[in-house]
Structure 1
Amino acid sequence: MRLQVNVHEAKTRMSELLARVEAGDEVIIARAGHPVASLVPVAEPAARELGFLDGFTVPHDFFEPLPDDELDAWEGS
């Protein structure tokens, strides 16, 4: 269903109008009877997978401290 309201009414009834939008209605906000904007549900973004990580596994020792010689190399010692 499509509903048109003026700006003042939209400000006064925003929570109710948002509930109607969530239920599938479209709300048109008008100024002096001329449509200016519409409230519509936000489209959920499609789930994305990172293809470059296919087959990647975290090594079992990934979170272990680095050996002293490698740590020294990273720290520039």
Structure 2
Amino acid sequence: MQVNMHEAKSQLSKLGKKVWEGETVVIAKAGKPYLDLVPHRENITPRKPGRLTGQIMIAEDFDKMSLDVIAGFEGEL
């Protein structure tokens, strides 16, 4: 189902119910698809910290900066 933005504003409750019942609702702007209306789903997979360990490398000198670069950022050059 595709509805225009104005219709979506005035029919939001009805559209929300249709989405929860499984219908696909696309909101159009100027006749072109703009947004998909989807039901909220709780994140059932808890975040797992550290899952990218070993895949991201940071250079040893990452937080070191020369004084002339610092001066440039501070407008002293």
Q: TM class by shorter-chain length?
A: 0.5 to 0.7
Larger gyration radius, structure 1 or structure 2: 1
State the percentage of identical aligned residues: 46
Shift in Å at residue 15 of structure 1? Answer: 0.4
Distance in 2 (CA, whole Å) between partners of 1:40 and 1:26 is 8
Say how many residue pairs are matched: 46
Higher normalized helix content (fraction of residues): 1
Aligned to 2:33: 35
Aligned to 1:65: none
Residue 35 of structure 1 aligns to a residue whose secondary structure is strand
Is there any run of 5+ residues in structure 2 with no aligned partner, and where? 47-77
Shift in Å at residue 42 of structure 1? Answer: 2.0
Aligned to 1:7: 5
